[in-house]
Chains A and B, each alone.
Chain A
Amino acid sequence: DTGVSQNPRHKITKRGQNVTFRCDPISEHNRLYWYRQTLGQGPEFLTYFQNEAQLEKSRLLSDRFSAERPKGSFSTLEIQRTEQGDSAMYLCASSSGPGNQPQHFGDGTRLSIL
């Protein structure tokens, strides 16, 4: 079990630039989740995939955000025209299904907008 892997670990970029993060879930997990966490807060749900289908999106996910999981394995989260408020830790989690199985989190990608 290699765990959930996220890349890059850190990303520093200027406001207005586009960024893309990658998540490789635990291989046998069919469910994949993206969360965002800011300092002193708990993670906030962004979106959920079951296999390659994106089944749920938070209202936090503005039209500048897009997520994909093209083959039902790894996922990407892209933020276009980044803003200061996008600075956060972006966490990916995966779980098996069906039912409420524990979600296992990656170490996250920390995004800093200059």
Chain B
Amino acid sequence: GQNIDQPTEMTATEGAIVQINCTYQTSGFNGLFWYQQHAGEAPTFLSYNVLDGLEEKGRFSSFLSRSKGYSYLLLKELQMKDSASYLCAPSYGNNRLAFGKGNQVGVIP
């Protein structure tokens, strides 16, 4: 496997900032996707990093360090609807995604 390592659960209050970390194996690595998955629903695409650095999309930002095999997803100005699982998915080979277990984020008022 690609040894995707993500912490499993965290809780934060509305308006807060949370950072979700992910480490992965670098051999054969193409790029890294982040997905959001609400309970009982399909994963939805959030962001993609192929080069080192930070990609910002509204309240969500994602960072990649290819040499360190490390990425993080930053969620700003948390809203209740952000309560979901966040999946780190490095891409290998034919864009085969190797998902981690996901990080369950719970947002409380």
A-B contact count (CB 8 A): 59
- How many residues on chain A are close to B (CB under 8 Å)? 26
Mask, B15-40, CB within 8 Å of A = 1, is: 00000000000000011010000000
Stretch touching chain A among B52-60, B63-71, B72-80, B90-98: B90-98
Report A-chain residues with C-beta under 8 Å of the C-beta of B99.
Answer: 35, 42-44
Q: Could you tell me if B43 and A102 are in contact, using CB atoms closer than 8 angstroms?
A: no
Q: Please name the residue on chain B nearest to A42 by beta carbon.
A: B99
Q: Could you tell me if B41 and A102 are in contact, using CB atoms closer than 8 angstroms?
A: no
Q: How far is the CA of A107 from the CA of B44 in the complex (A)?
A: 10
Q: Could you tell me if B42 and A95 are in contact, using CB atoms closer than 8 angstroms?
A: no
- How many residues on chain B are close to A (CB under 8 Å)? 24
Q: How far is the CA of A91 from the CA of B35 in the complex (A)?
A: 14
B interface SS class? loop
Q: Could you tell me if A104 and B96 are in contact, using CB atoms closer than 8 angstroms?
A: no
Report A-chain residues with C-beta under 8 Å of the C-beta of B96.
Answer: 33, 45, 48, 56
Q: How near does chain B come to A102, taking the closest CB pair, in angstroms?
A: 4
Report A-chain residues with C-beta under 8 Å of the C-beta of B87.
Answer: 42-43
Q: How far is the CA of A40 from the CA of B93 in the complex (A)?
A: 25
Q: Could you tell me if B95 and A31 are in contact, using CB atoms closer than 8 angstroms?
A: yes
Q: Could you tell me if A50 and B43 are in contact, using CB atoms closer than 8 angstroms?
A: no
Q: Does A101 contact B (CB under 8 A)?
A: yes
Q: How near does chain B come to A88, taking the closest CB pair, in angstroms?
A: 14
Q: Please name the residue on chain B nearest to A58 by beta carbon.
A: B96
The CB with the most chain B CB atoms within 10 A, among A41, A100, A101, A107, is that of A100
Report A-chain residues with C-beta under 8 Å of the C-beta of B93.
Answer: 56
Q: Please name the residue on chain A nearest to B31 by beta carbon.
A: A100
Other than the known A91-B43, A103-B97, A108-B42, what 13 A-B pairs have Cβ atoms closer than 8 Å?
A4-B42, A31-B94, A42-B89, A43-B87, A45-B98, A48-B96, A55-B94, A56-B94, A100-B31, A100-B91, A102-B33, A105-B43, A105-B44
Which residues of A does B touch, CB under 8 Å?
4, 31, 33, 35, 40-45, 48, 50, 55-56, 91, 95, 97, 100-108
7 pairs, A vs B, C-beta closer than 8 Å: A31-B94, A35-B99, A41-B101, A45-B98, A48-B94, A56-B93, A100-B95
